[in-house]
C-alpha cells in the first residue's frame, strides 16, 4: 500500500505541474460574440495588413470579436476535416477553391446564397473565380483573393539571343525554342513546371484543349476532342524534341530555380515569383502566348467560406461581407492579393507595381478548375495521363479517350 501511495504522490506532482500550464480558462460569459477564423497569411506584410483589417472590423462591430488563428499550409485540408468531424471547426476560413466541391457535398459548408444580401455580392464578383465556389446550383463561398499565372520573360537572355520582341503566339514561341534549346548543353528556352494540372492547363487551354462542357457535367466530346488531342500531343512533342527542360517530369533544376537563377528565358508563374527572385534580370510580364484557344490561364486564389456548425452564422456573415468590401479588398491588394470584386478591381491602381497590370489583364481570360465534389480524383487522373503522354508511354488520343470516360463517371 505504501508504494502505491508514494507512486500516486509522485504522479500527481508531475501531473499537476504540467497541467497547470494547460488549464482552459473558463471565464464568465463575455459580452462579445467570438468567431474563429483560420487563415494562412504569412508573417510580414500579409499578417500586418490583416491584423489592421481585423481591428477595424472589431471597432466597427464591438459586439463581435474575431479570434484569428494562423494555420500551416501543409496538411491544412486534413486539419479542417478533423476539426469539422470533431465539432471544433472554425466559423470562417479562407479555403482553396478546389476543396469546396467535396466539402460542400459532405455537408461541411454553409450555403451562402441563403444569407441576406448574397445576391449583391454574387453580382459584384469576378465571374471566373466565382464559378469555383459553386456546386450543383448553390454557392458555398465567395472569392476573396485571386491570382493567376502569366508569362514572365527574362529580357537579358532574350536580348543576348538576338530576340528583341517577345513572342505573342505559341507558334512564334515554338520557332524560337527550336533555335535556342539545346539539351546537350542543358539549355532550354522555356519549360512547364510539371505534369500537374496547375502547370499544364494554361498551355493545354491556350492550345485549344478543353476539359468539359461549360456546365462541368460532361467530359466526353471535350477532353477527347480532336483539339484536345492536338494540344496535348503538341506539348508532348516539345518534351520529346528537347524544346522544354525535364523539369516537366520532375527533374532538377526545376522551373523555378532555373528561372530565378537567370537561366530560363520564359516561365509561366504567379505574382509570388517577384518576391523570390535571387538574381537581377530585366523582367517583362505579358499574357501567355496565344494558341488556337487564345491566351488562357488558370484561376487560383482563395474563397471565403463559412463552416456548417458555426454557432454564430450572422456574425460570421458580417465578417465575410466586411472582407469583401472595396476598401478592405484594396488594402489586401497591397499585400499581394488581387481583388475579386468588380468594384474593387475598377478602383485598383495597377501602376503601383510593374506586373500587376498584366495579371489583371490575364484574369479577364482565365478558366477555372472543375468545381466538383470529386475534384481531387479528377485532378489526379488528369495529372497521371498528362504524365503518361509526356513520357511517351501512350499517345494522346488513347489516353484522353480513356480519361474522358473516367472523368464522366466522376462528374456524376
Partner 1 sequence: MRQKSINNSFLYFGLVLFAIVAIIPFLYMFSTSMLESSYSIPFPPKLFPSRINFSNYFTAWKSNNFGQYFANSLLVATSSTLIIMFVSCLSAFGFSRIKFPGREFLFSIFLFSMMVPSITNITPIFTIMKSLDLIDSYFGLTLLYSGISIASNTYFLRNFFLIFPHELEEAMTIDGGTRWTCFLHLLLPLSKPAIATFGILTFAGNWDEFLYALIFIKTESKRTLPIAIKLFEGQHLNNWSLIFAASLIAIVPILIIYILFQKYLIKGGSLDGTLKE
Partner 2 sequence: MQKEKISRGLNQWLEVLPYILPSLILVTLFVIYPLIRNIQISFFDYNILKNKTLDFIEFKNYKKLFTSKEFYLALRNTIIYTTATVAGQLFFGLILANLINCIKKGQTFFKVITYLPVVTSWVVVSLLFKYIFAAGKSGLVNYFLVSLNLISTSIAWLQNVESANFVLCVFGIWKGVGWTMLIYFASLQGISKTMYEAAVIDGASALQRFYKITLPLVKNTTLYLLTVLTIGGFGAYIHVMMITNGGPMGQTRELMNLVYDTAFISWNFSYASAQAVIMGLIIFLLSFVQRKITKEMEN
Binding-site ranges for partner 2 (CB under 8 A): 3-4, 7, 11, 77-78, 81, 84-86, 102, 106-108, 186, 246, 249-253, 376-377, 380, 384, 387-388, 391, 393
For the segment 262-291, give every residue that binds partner 1 (CB under 8 A): 270, 272, 275-276, 278
Contact 200, 192 (CB under 8 A): yes
* Binding partner selected for residue 262 from partner 2, partner 1, none, CB under the kind-specific 5 to 8 Å limit: none
The least distance separating partner 2 from the CB of residue 76, rounded to whole angstroms, comes to: 11
For the segment 194-253, give every residue that binds partner 1 (CB under 8 A): 252-253
How far from the centroid of its chain's Cα atoms is residue 229's Cα? Answer: 26
* Binding partner selected for residue 292 from partner 2, partner 1, none, CB under the kind-specific 5 to 8 Å limit: none
Contact 307, 90 (CB under 8 A): yes
Those residues whose C-beta lies under 8 Å from the C-beta of residue 307, and which sit 6 or more positions away, are: 84, 89, 90, 91, 92, 93, 108, 109, 110
Strand pairing report for 283-286 and 150-154: antiparallel
Q: How far apart are CA 366 and CA 359, in angstroms?
A: 11
Residue placing its CB nearer to partner 1 in the complex, 215 or 251: 251
Q: C-alpha distances in angstroms, 228 versus 145, 198, 242? A: 30, 17, 22
Give the residue, chosen from 9, 19, 250, 405, that forms a contact with partner 1 under the rule CB under 8 A. Answer: 19
Residue placing its CB nearer to partner 1 in the complex, 5 or 31: 5
Encoded one letter per residue, x for contact with partner 1 by CB under 8 A and - for no contact, window 86-105 reads: xxx-----------------
What phi and psi, each to the nearest 5 degrees, are found at residue 90?
-70, 165
* Binding partner selected for residue 15 from partner 2, partner 1, none, CB under the kind-specific 5 to 8 Å limit: partner 1
For the segment 28-57, give every residue that binds partner 1 (CB under 8 A): 40, 42-43
15 lies in the binding site for partner 1 (CB under 8 A): yes
Q: C-alpha distances in angstroms, 98 versus 34, 161, 181, 373, 407? A: 28, 40, 35, 9, 16
Q: How far apart are CA 333 and CA 221, in angstroms?
A: 40
Q: How far apart are CA 155 and CA 159, in angstroms?
A: 6
Give the residue, chosen from 8, 45, 63, 75, that forms a contact with partner 1 under the rule CB under 8 A. Answer: 75
C-alpha grid cell, residue 364:
479577364
The least distance separating partner 1 from the CB of residue 22, rounded to whole angstroms, comes to: 3
Residue placing its CB nearer to partner 2 in the complex, 29 or 87: 87
SS3 helix, strand, coil % of the chain, rounded to 5? 50, 15, 35
C-alpha grid cell, residue 399:
489516353
The least distance separating partner 1 from the CB of residue 205, rounded to whole angstroms, comes to: 21
Contact 321, 57 (CB under 8 A): no
The least distance separating partner 2 from the CB of residue 309, rounded to whole angstroms, comes to: 9
The least distance separating partner 1 from the CB of residue 373, rounded to whole angstroms, comes to: 20
Q: Minimal CA–CA distance to 298: which of 143, 149, 168? A: 149
Beta strands in 123-235 (DSSP E): 134-135, 138-139, 141-145, 150-154
Residue placing its CB nearer to partner 2 in the complex, 3 or 26: 3
13 lies in the binding site for partner 1 (CB under 8 A): no
C-alpha grid cell, residue 379:
485532378
The least distance separating partner 1 from the CB of residue 259, rounded to whole angstroms, comes to: 9
For 242, the 3-state DSSP assignment is coil
Give the residue, chosen from 33, 61, 70, 155, that forms a contact with partner 1 under the rule CB under 8 A. Answer: 70
Stretch that binds partner 1, among 55-63, 73-81, 189-197, 400-408 (CB under 8 A): 73-81
The least distance separating partner 1 from the CB of residue 270, rounded to whole angstroms, comes to: 6
Residue placing its CB nearer to partner 2 in the complex, 11 or 405: 11
Q: How far apart are CA 297 and CA 288, in angstroms?
A: 7
351 lies in the binding site for partner 1 (CB under 8 A): no
For 220, the 3-state DSSP assignment is coil
Which residues in this chain contact partner 1 in the complex, by CB under 8 A? Answer: 3, 7, 10-11, 14-15, 17-19, 21-24, 40, 42-43, 69-70, 72-75, 79, 82-83, 85-88, 252-254, 256-257, 260-261, 270, 272, 275-276, 278
Amino acid at each position: 500500500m505504501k508504494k502505491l501511495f508514494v507512486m500516486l504522490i509522485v504522479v500527481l506532482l508531475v501531473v499537476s505541474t504540467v497541467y497547470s500550464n494547460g488549464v482552459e480558462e473558463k471565464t464568465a460569459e463575455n459580452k462579445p460574440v467570438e468567431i474563429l477564423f483560420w487563415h494562412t497569411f504569412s508573417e510580414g506584410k500579409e499578417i500586418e495588413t490583416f491584423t489592421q483589417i481585423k481591428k477595424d472590423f472589431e471597432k466597427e462591430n464591438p459586439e463581435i470579436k474575431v479570434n484569428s488563428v494562423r494555420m500551416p499550409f501543409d496538411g491544412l485540408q486534413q486539419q479542417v476535416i478533423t476539426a469539422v468531424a470533431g465539432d471544433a471547426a472554425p466559423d470562417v476560413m479562407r479555403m482553396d477553391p478546389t476543396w469546396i466541391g467535396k466539402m460542400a457535398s459532405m455537408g461541411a459548408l454553409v450555403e451562402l446564397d441563403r444569407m441576406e444580401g448574397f445576391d449583391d455580392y454574387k453580382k459584384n464578383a469576378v465571374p471566373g473565380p466565382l464559378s469555383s465556389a459553386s456546386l450543383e446550383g448553390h454557392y458555398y463561398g465567395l472569392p476573396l483573393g485571386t491570382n493567376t499565372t502569366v508569362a514572365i520573360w527574362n529580357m537579358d537572355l532574350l536580348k543576348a539571343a538576338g530576340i528583341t520582341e517577345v513572342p505573342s503566339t505559341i507558334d512564334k514561341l515554338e520557332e524560337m525554342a527550336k533555335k535556342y534549346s539545346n539539351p546537350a548543353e542543358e539549355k532550354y528556352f522555356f519549360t512547364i513546371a510539371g505534369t500537374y494540372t496547375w502547370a499544364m492547363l494554361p498551355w493545354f487551354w491556350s492550345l485549344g484543349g478543353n476539359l468539359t462542357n461549360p456546365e462541368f457535367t460532361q467530359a466526353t466530346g471535350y477532353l477527347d476532342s480532336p483539339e484536345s488531342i492536338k494540344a496535348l500531343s503538341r506539348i508532348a512533342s516539345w518534351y520529346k524534341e528537347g524544346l522544354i527542360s525535364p523539369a516537366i517530369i520532375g527533374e532538377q533544376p526545376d522551373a523555378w530555380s532555373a528561372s530565378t537563377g537567370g537561366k530560363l528565358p520564359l516561365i509561366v508563374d504567379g505574382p509570388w515569383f517577384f518576391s523570390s527572385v535571387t538574381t537581377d534580370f530585366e523582367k517583362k510580364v505579358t499574357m501567355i502566348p496565344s494558341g488556337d484557344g487564345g491566351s488562357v490561364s488558370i484561376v487560383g486564389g482563395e474563397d471565403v467560406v463559412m463552416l456548417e456548425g458555426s454557432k454564430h452564422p450572422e456574425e460570421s456573415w458580417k465578417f465575410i461581407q466586411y472582407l469583401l468590401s472595396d476598401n478592405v479588398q484594396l488594402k489586401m491588394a497591397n499585400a499581394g492579393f488581387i481583388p475579386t470584386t468588380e468594384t474593387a478591381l475598377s478602383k485598383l491602381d495597377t501602376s503601383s507595381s510593374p506586373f500587376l497590370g498584366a495579371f489583371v489583364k490575364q484574369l479577364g481570360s482565365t478558366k477555372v478548375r472543375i468545381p466538383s465534389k470529386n475534384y481531387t480524383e479528377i485532378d489526379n487522373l488528369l495529372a497521371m495521363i498528362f504524365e503518361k503522354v509526356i513520357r511517351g508511354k501512350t499517345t494522346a488520343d488513347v489516353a484522353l479517350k480513356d480519361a474522358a470516360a473516367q472523368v464522366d463517371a466522376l462528374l456524376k
